[in-house]
Chain A
């Protein structure tokens, strides 16, 4: 069975009255390349940002490598629902198990979601699931690299510092924690810095920008900045890479160099989720294509299925406009 990396369960995202995501579920397997397409405002970027919790989903759960990153959503756990006072009340009122669960879900009866109002059994189970599976958001994020549309390189740091900052800071923190736990550590803070620097130079060599190591991001071209942003994410050795329209803010002549790097990366087996408007590229690298429309996954399948034989009329319409 393929190993599931990222598990998105029934994600809803509301910005006030604006409902951007309306129940999105999908999984990303190890080594898989998932491309998300769709018109602007269909929720594809929001979905990607929900994956590493830059946006907190309103409902639903995000699981990364078997660990829960969001709070527990009781609607996704039947065993939790069955411990709630609301459920017990409904069953006592004559409904069957299935009917009661349906009713609770359909009518959003746990809206309060306050553990205390649903009884101690419910609160205890919620707490147990949280305790068993939840990990610190920052730990989850360390395993997910994110590449932004606007690069977001740190303006106050040189190219090399941009790459080494997170590995050094987090490496040192881990060292401190290990010492606190009384474990024997073989590395010193200096080693961590040295390693991070060496790795940064190696990564810079890979994209041919080693001579820019001490330059500030403002002196780089858009394509160079985005490639640095990609290797900055790689320096954390993530298990999944998330790309949020990585070429949308680039001049046309620079799109190629960034796509080449991403192509290299996915060909080397990096699990990736890519939001893009580059249909040719999507067709080429994707193992699976997701077409988002109006906050839900409207169509999903292999590139051949989605691009050559779309079933959803919206998807057909969209593709007829972007493909020539």
Chain B
């Protein structure tokens, strides 16, 4: 009973920290990471299919390193190393460096998702398009990619949900997302369990709603093709 009462108390006083700042920053970071990841991930996936061996090697190396090391470690490295490379970052809040790390991380995963999605399309589709005299680019854009997207979307949705959860690691640098909100409120109220519970429910609600939206979207894409 006390537990519930405490939660109500916390929420009446700190709802802005959780709902506006916390969820706001979590969503902002996730969207930046996934949008950037989708953009750079697509470029990386295309680069991987190019004939330039050096380009392929670099991309493969990035993907291997990103997938082979913890995100937390990548965040640390990013936050401390990026300002050395780009001096302007040192005067800006950590969230900029954190965003860059999350984009790189997400790009690596998305590029793998897109690559496998493209490879899952029957090679005969490309051959048929080329045999009609269409260029590689046209064949890719009008025939292969639209079919690949159907393979890609579900996995991309999963990646989005993973990223939402991974942003919690950014709380290490106090950037203001949900987990930071937890740290702040806990620091003020000393009510650890209650704060954890609130944040847990919010994360779950966020990912649950997201998964439902993505599922509906997938369904629509499937119905159209």
Q: List the one stretch of B37-45, B139-147, B153-161, B207-215 in contact with chain A.
A: B139-147
CB of B124 within 8 A of chain A? yes
CB of A233 within 8 A of chain B? yes
Given contacts A156-B143, A169-B142, contact A139 B125 (CB under 8 A): no
| Cβ proximity bits A133-159 to B, threshold 8 Å, 1 near / 0 not | 000001111101110101011111100
Counting residue pairs across A and B whose Cβ atoms lie within 8 Å, the total is: 67
| Cβ proximity bits B44-73 to A, threshold 8 Å, 1 near / 0 not | 000000000000000000000000000000
A170 and B134 contact, CB distance less than 8 A? yes
Given contacts A138-B133, A142-B133, A156-B225, contact A169 B138 (CB under 8 A): yes
- State which of A150, A155, A166 has its C-beta within 8 Å of the C-beta of B132: A166
Name the residue on B nearest A169 (C-beta). B138
Name the residue on A nearest B127 (C-beta). A54
Given contacts A156-B225, A169-B138, contact A142 B128 (CB under 8 A): no
A155 and B125 contact, CB distance less than 8 A? yes
Contacts of A169 in B (CB 8 A): 134, 138, 142
* A residues 52-66 in Cβ contact with B at 8 Å: 52, 54
A141 and B142 contact, CB distance less than 8 A? no
CB of A232 within 8 A of chain B? yes
Whole-angstrom CA separation of A34 from B225 in the bound complex: 39
CB of B115 within 8 A of chain A? no
Given contacts A54-B127, A148-B127, A165-B142, contact A155 B134 (CB under 8 A): no
* Number of A positions contacting B (CB below 8 A): 27
B124 and A148 contact, CB distance less than 8 A? yes
Contacts of A141 in B (CB 8 A): 130-133
Min CB gap A191→B, angstroms? 20
A150 and B124 contact, CB distance less than 8 A? yes
CB of A236 within 8 A of chain B? yes
Contacts of B134 in A (CB 8 A): 138, 165-166, 169-170
Whole-angstrom CA separation of A155 from B143 in the bound complex: 8
Whole-angstrom CA separation of A166 from B146 in the bound complex: 16
Contacts of B130 in A (CB 8 A): 54, 138, 141
CB of B116 within 8 A of chain A? no
- State which of A52, A140, A142, A154 has its C-beta within 8 Å of the C-beta of B129: A154
Name the residue on B nearest A150 (C-beta). B124
B133 and A170 contact, CB distance less than 8 A? yes
Whole-angstrom CA separation of A145 from B131 in the bound complex: 7
Given contacts A166-B134, A169-B134, contact A152 B124 (CB under 8 A): yes
A154 and B128 contact, CB distance less than 8 A? yes
CB of B122 within 8 A of chain A? yes
| Cβ proximity bits A228-268 to B, threshold 8 Å, 1 near / 0 not | 01001100100000000000000000000000000000000
A152 and B133 contact, CB distance less than 8 A? no
Min CB gap A28→B, angstroms? 17
Whole-angstrom CA separation of A255 from B148 in the bound complex: 31
Given contacts A156-B146, A156-B225, A165-B142, contact A236 B132 (CB under 8 A): yes
| Cβ proximity bits A90-117 to B, threshold 8 Å, 1 near / 0 not | 0000000000000000000000000000
Whole-angstrom CA separation of A150 from B133 in the bound complex: 19
A156 and B127 contact, CB distance less than 8 A? no
B143 and A139 contact, CB distance less than 8 A? no
Name the residue on B nearest A141 (C-beta). B133
Name the residue on B nearest A165 (C-beta). B142
Contacts of A54 in B (CB 8 A): 127, 130-131
- State which of B125, B135, B138, B142 has its C-beta within 8 Å of the C-beta of A152: B125
A144 and B131 contact, CB distance less than 8 A? yes
Whole-angstrom CA separation of A166 from B131 in the bound complex: 10
Min CB gap B137→A, angstroms? 11
Whole-angstrom CA separation of A154 from B147 in the bound complex: 9
Q: By CB atoms of chain A within 10 A, which of B125, B131, B138 has the most?
A: B131
Min CB gap A48→B, angstroms? 11
Contacts of B131 in A (CB 8 A): 52, 54, 141, 144-146, 148, 233
B143 and A138 contact, CB distance less than 8 A? no
Contacts of A170 in B (CB 8 A): 132-134
* B residues 94-109 in Cβ contact with A at 8 Å: none
Q: Apart from A145-B132, A166-B133, what 17 extra A-B contacts exist at CB < 8 Å? A: A54-B130, A139-B133, A140-B133, A141-B130, A141-B131, A141-B132, A145-B131, A146-B128, A146-B132, A148-B124, A148-B128, A153-B128, A155-B147, A156-B147, A156-B225, A166-B132, A232-B132
Residues of A within 8 A of B (CB): 52, 54, 138-142, 144-146, 148, 150, 152-157, 165-166, 169-170, 216, 229, 232-233, 236
The 3 closest A-B pairs by CB, nearest first: A142-B133, A152-B128, A146-B131
A-B contact pairs, 26 of them (CB 8 A): A54-B127, A139-B133, A140-B133, A141-B132, A144-B131, A146-B128, A146-B131, A148-B124, A150-B122, A152-B127, A153-B128, A154-B125, A155-B147, A155-B225, A156-B143, A156-B146, A156-B225, A157-B143, A165-B132, A165-B142, A166-B129, A170-B133, A170-B134, A216-B225, A233-B131, A233-B132
Residues of B within 8 A of A (CB): 122, 124-125, 127-135, 138, 142-143, 146-147, 225
